[in-house]
Structure 1
Amino acid sequence: MIKSKTPLAWRQLIKAKGRFAVALSGIAFADILMLMQLGFQSALFDSNTRLHKLLNTDVVLISSQAQNLGLVNTFPRRRLFQAANLPEVESASSLYVRLANWKNPQTKLESSILVIGFNPNSSAFNLPEIKENLNLIKYPDTLLFDRSSRGKYQETIA
């Protein structure tokens, strides 16, 4: 029969308990940092693709000079009409995206917000809240705020 013996590696670890604790805490700290980095990466990806996931679309045409979502240059509307004339395309509509400065009328604080403009007669988004309020945004000087945006817009919304 084989007698169970304490493995040599375990004996070396528990002989110097202080070194063992320091090594274990170092490994735990490295694991925590890696998990935090994965969380930040996931949050960054989700926040940058959130708008794209909400669009009611299969294909998006953007300017070849676009740098990011806030700095998208326009392109000739002729390209949109050319795409709409293809037999495979059901419909085509334009979407305008810009960064703008917002000044809260109550607090007078300025912040940068992403402004999205679209034809209210088209179904550009897959959000029921937008579809329910399409008639309201057809009026001049009317807009919708994202419920989950950062900032204190509740004071502005009346």
Structure 2
Amino acid sequence: MLSLFSKKAKRRKQLSRSHIKSLWEIVLADEKIHDDELNLLYEIAAGFNISKKEVQKIKDEKDNIPFLVPDTNEQRFEFIYNFTRMMMVDDDIDYREMQICKTYAIELGFKKTIVDELVKSISSNLSVGNDLKETYTRLSFVIQKNQLKT
């Protein structure tokens, strides 16, 4: 029987792999892999203690990795924040990247009616140099009010 600690560690690992897989989908959406996208992907993965080698393995196995929704609003926001960063990093927002980003926002529990504005607001915050924490603080009221899950 798995201990509670082991279950939490396993869940964290699964969420991390799911998030990296989703980021890969954004990277691959426009059929061009840019160095800036890979660098950001590796940076985000490192924050989840995932090596470059594991990032490549996730790409190869992405069809077998399910999308998982994080347990907290903060984690869900971090995911949509990272999706938006990935979409913007090469300075060429492709409509396919935008569509994937919006689809994941809805799957994360954000109401469809605010997804466009949420992604636009995150983009604006990124454009002026706001980090994850500052962006979350600025948008937290809207997120709390309009998210399906609490």
Query: What TM-score do you get using the length of structure 1 for normalisation?
Result: 0.30
Q: Choose between structure 1 and 2: higher helix proportion.
A: 2
Q: Choose between structure 1 and 2: higher strand proportion.
A: 1
Greater C-alpha Rg: 1
Query: What TM-score do you get using the length of structure 2 for normalisation?
Result: 0.31
Higher relative contact order (CA 8 A, sep 6+): 2
